[in-house]
């Protein structure tokens, strides 16, 4: 017991001794990102947009920076939601939804911006460890009892469908260094970008090694008239229904008055 | 010009929707049907989620029906009593339909069920109407006098109990088939987003032998209330009514309907029915093709629960 305690004290001592030692070797790099706003509003005309995220490297090694060996990957990840993936099969000539697989906590959207193609930045294994990139996101099946082959098939389909809907996207070259320290990332917001709290994350790599991560939150919400309609439809659904009916009746009556032909 | 639909949560083109509404309104005015059976499939072809297309279709049907009923009220071709009994059945059918709708949606089979119902119903009704109207066209061309309703002619429907007199329709018939017809139409209205005029009109003419001139006004009258009820229930249980979408369709629709009604007056009854039959069949065939053709994507995503 006594020996253990002594060891622990030594470990503590070495920790407190670390800062002076650090001052002699080059400072470790860090990364920071900043959003100009913590909320983005979607209005009626929203047909997708590019979101620009600025960030900076802390203590970059000028030599490494000149050689372009710093890489940055920025991810904008939508709120996690459960998703049902269904597969159509032919039954008596008709295509119907037969098999399905439910996944928990699937990010509704996942936009990636990188300095270079993903495969040039680092090894596939480090992406897996970081769970970075749409193809490395772990999709957790609700029913783990299904065969791995089935789960794999539906996971692939889920990624493919998300990419086809523009919700999972990759913008190679979307991160550009403006100076040695400053970079700008452009991530794509799909026209059907989900509302909710999105998480922006930036990953710094140096010569293929992961150094640091930084994150920020971004609220995406609907604004204006559409948002009011949406809220009323959900919060006061009965009144909303009555309003929809009245609107239809008045429109029908006015239409008759204005356009009558008999 | 793009517009963001608050409930469907997608951006669409305003002019496409207005044109869609106007075209369907024109046809519905011409044929005296609500046009829901055209609007809902068109919205689905335009990538509006089927659940929203159905609920919004029901909402849009109200506008075109109100517009139509007003002109029929002026002409006195509306049987309020018959419409009321049909409506009582309609409310029951609608309620059942909403529950089936929610159940199928959770099961992931809603889209298939909607398409199947459309294909079967439109195919049957369109086919029957086409056969009937062609034989009527042949008969008039060969110079034979059109076969009128014989007063002594009775089918099994007229032997049912609980008879009731409908003065405006010159009808003395059991309420059972009337309530049943109303319930059936109500059920379809909530699942298919249609008023049900395309079934109601032939059913009233051929099954209950209601005079043709009263049929359209009465059917439109009851459709207003059935689809209003359907809209309300969809709005409260599924939150799938998109007023923005509905309004654009209505605005185009009511304008088109009045022009359509005028165009319809220039055509003869059987010609009109033959054209409507062809239209109905075309929609059915288009939907049937989608059922059998290998879909471009075998996989689809949906959220859990209702959305």
Give the whole-angstrom CA distance, residue B89 versus residue B91: 6
**pLDDT tens per residue across span B225-259:** 888 988 898 888 888 888 889 999 988 888 887 78
Q: Which domain holds residue A123?
A: 22-223
Is A57 a domain residue? yes
DSSP code of residue B4: E
Residue A155 with chain B: CB contacts under 8 Å: none
pLDDT score at B34: 67
Q: B35 in the Ramachandran plot: left (φ > 0), alpha (ψ -120 to 50) or beta?
A: left
Residue of chain A whose Cα is closest to the Cα of B26: A259
CB-CB contact of A172 with A116 (8 Å): yes
CA B32 to chain centre: 10
Helix/strand/coil for A260: coil
Q: How far apart are CA B219 and CA B201, in angstroms?
A: 7
Domain assignment present for A246: no
Return all residues near B280 (Cβ < 8 A) that are at least 6 apart. Answer: B37, B122, B125, B126, B129, B198
Tally the residues of chain B: 307
- Tell me, yes or no, whether A45 lies in a domain: yes
Does residue A74 fall inside a structural domain? yes
pLDDT in tens, B83-115: 888 889 988 998 898 888 888 888 877 778 888
Residue B258's nearest CA partner among A88, A236, A259, A250 is: A259
Provide mean pLDDT across the span B59-69: 84
B128: exposed, middle or buried (Cβ count in 10 Å: 0-12, 13-18, 19+):
middle
Q: How far is CA A175 from CA B27, B206, B301, in A?
A: 54, 70, 30
Per-residue pLDDT averaged across B256-271, rounded?
A: 76
Count of alpha carbons within 13 Å of A107, Cβ hemisphere only? 25
Q: Which residue has the higher pLDDT, A248 or B210?
A: A248
B171-174/A140-141 β-pairing = unpaired
A236 located within any domain: no
CA–CA min distance A260, chain B (Å): 6
Q: What distance in Å separates residue A107's CA from the closest CA in chain B?
A: 12
Give pLDDT, residue A250: 92
Tokens coding A232: 């009323």
- Distance (Å) from the alpha carbon of A106 to chain B's nearest alpha carbon: 10
pLDDT at A262: 57
Residue B296: the pLDDT is 78
Residue B181, token pair as written in the block = 């017809």
Alpha helices in chain A (DSSP H): 2-24, 62-66, 118-121, 124-130, 148-164, 224-235, 237-259
Tokens of B84: 């009321």
Q: Which residue of A has its CA nearest to B109?
A: A97
* pLDDT at residue A243, as a whole number: 92
- The overall average pLDDT reported for chain B is 80
Listed by number, the residues of chain A in 63-122 with a beta carbon closer than 8 Å to a beta carbon of chain B are: 81-89, 93-97, 100, 102
> Do A87 and A154 touch, CB atoms closer than 8 A?
yes
Query: Does pLDDT of B195 surpass 50?
Result: yes
E strand intervals along B161-307: 163-166, 171-174, 299-303
Q: Which residue has the tokens 């909303």?
A: A240
Residues 155-174 of A with CB under 8 A from B: 157-158, 160-162, 164-165
Residue B158: what pLDDT? 67
Residue A33 token pair: 């990102």
Please tell me the predicted confidence (pLDDT) of residue B303: 67
User: B114: which 2 tokens?
Assistant: 């909607």
End-to-end CA distance of chain B: 27
Chain A residues within an 8 Å CB radius of B109? 96-97
For chain A, how many structural domains are there in total?
1
Residue B213's CB is within 10 A of a number of other CB atoms, namely 14
Task: Name the nearest CA neighbour of B12 among B55, B56, B40, B46.
Answer: B46
Residue-level pLDDT, tens digit, chain A, 262 residues: 444 444 443 333 334 444 444 445 567 888 888 887 778 887 766 777 888 888 888 888 888 888 888 888 999 998 888 888 888 888 888 888 888 888 888 888 898 999 888 888 888 888 888 888 888 888 888 877 778 888 888 888 888 888 888 888 888 888 888 888 888 988 888 877 888 888 999 999 888 888 888 888 888 887 777 778 888 888 888 999 999 999 999 988 888 888 766 5
Backbone φ and ψ for A100, nearest 5 degrees, come out as: -150, 160
**How far apart are alpha carbons A107 and A143 in whole angstroms?**
18
CB B24 within 8 A of CB B200: no
The two structure tokens encoding residue A51: 């979101």
pLDDT digits (tens, 9 = 90+) for B161-173: 777 777 767 777 7
Q: What is the largest CA-CA distance in chain B?
A: 62
- Residue A8 is predicted with a pLDDT of 40
R_g of chain B computed on alpha carbons: 19
Is A237 a member of any domain?
no
Is residue A115 one of the residues assigned to a domain?
A: yes
Asked whether residue A135 is domain-assigned, the answer is yes
Q: How far apart are CA A53 and CA A32, in angstroms?
A: 10
């Amino acid at each position: 017991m006594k020996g253990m305690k002594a060891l622990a004290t030594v470990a503590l001592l070495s920790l407190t001794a670390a800062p002076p030692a650090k001052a002699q070797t080059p400072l470790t790099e860090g990364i920071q990102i900043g959003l100009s706003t913590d909320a983005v509003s979607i209005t009626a005309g929203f047909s997708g947009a590019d979101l620009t995220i600025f960030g900076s490297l802390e203590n970059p090694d000028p030599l490494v920076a000149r050689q372009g060996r710093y890489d940055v990957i920025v991810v904008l990840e939508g709120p996690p939601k459960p998703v049902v993936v269904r597969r159509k099969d032919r039954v008596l000539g008709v295509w119907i939804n037969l098999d399905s697989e439910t996944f928990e906590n699937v990010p509704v959207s996942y936009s990636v911006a990188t300095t270079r193609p993903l495969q040039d930045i680092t090894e596939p294994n480090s992406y897996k460890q970081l769970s970075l990139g749409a193809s490395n996101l772990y999709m957790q099946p609700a029913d783990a009892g299904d065969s791995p082959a089935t789960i794999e098939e539906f996971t692939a389909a889920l990624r493919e469908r998300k990419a086809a809907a523009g919700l999972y996207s990759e913008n190679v070259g979307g991160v550009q260094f403006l100076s040695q320290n400053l970079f700008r990332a452009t991530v794509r917001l799909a026209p059907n970008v989900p509302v909710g709290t999105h998480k922006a994350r930036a990953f710094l790599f140096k010569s293929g090694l992961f150094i640091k991560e930084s994150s920020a939150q971004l609220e995406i919400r609907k604004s204006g008239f559409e948002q009011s309609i949406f809220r009323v439809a959900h919060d006061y659904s009965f009144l909303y229904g009555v309003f929809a009916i009245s609107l239809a009746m008045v429109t029908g009556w006015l239409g008759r008055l204005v356009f009558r032909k008999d | 010009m793009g517009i963001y639909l608050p409930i469907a949560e997608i951006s669409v083109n305003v002019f496409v929707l207005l044109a869609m509404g106007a075209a369907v309104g024109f046809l519905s005015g011409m044929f005296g049907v609500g046009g829901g059976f055209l609007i809902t499939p068109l919205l689905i072809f335009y990538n509006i989620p089927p659940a929203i297309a159905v609920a919004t279709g029901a909402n849009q049907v109200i506008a075109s029906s109100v517009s139509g009923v007003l002109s029929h009220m002026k002409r006195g071709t509306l049987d309020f009593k018959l419409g009321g009994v049909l409506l009582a059945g309609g409310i029951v059918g609608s309620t059942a339909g909403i529950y089936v709708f929610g159940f199928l949606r959770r099961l992931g089979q809603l889209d298939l069920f909607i398409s199947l119902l459309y294909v079967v119903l439109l195919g049957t009704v369109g086919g029957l109407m086409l056969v009937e109207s062609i034989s009527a066209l042949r008969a008039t061309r060969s110079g034979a006098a059109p076969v009128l309703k014989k007063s002594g002619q009775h089918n099994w429907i007229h032997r049912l109990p609980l008879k009731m007199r409908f003065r405006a329709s010159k009808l003395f018939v059991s309420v059972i088939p009337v309530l049943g017809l109303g319930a059936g139409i109500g059920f379809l209205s909530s699942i298919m987003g249609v008023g049900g005029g395309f079934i109601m009109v032939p059913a009233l003419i051929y099954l209950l032998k209601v005079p043709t001139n009263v049929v359209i006004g009465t059917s439109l009258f009851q459709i207003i209330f059935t689809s209003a009820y359907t809209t309300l229930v969809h709005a409260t249980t599924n939150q799938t009514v998109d007023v923005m979408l509905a309004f654009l369709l209505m605005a185009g629709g009511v304008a088109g309907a009045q022009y359509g009604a005028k165009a319809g007056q220039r055509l003869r009854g059987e010609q009109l029915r033959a054209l409507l039959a062809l239209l109905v069949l075309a929609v059915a065939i288009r939907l049937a093709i989608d059922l059998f053709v290998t879909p471009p994507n075998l996989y689809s995503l949906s959220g859990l629960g209702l959305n």
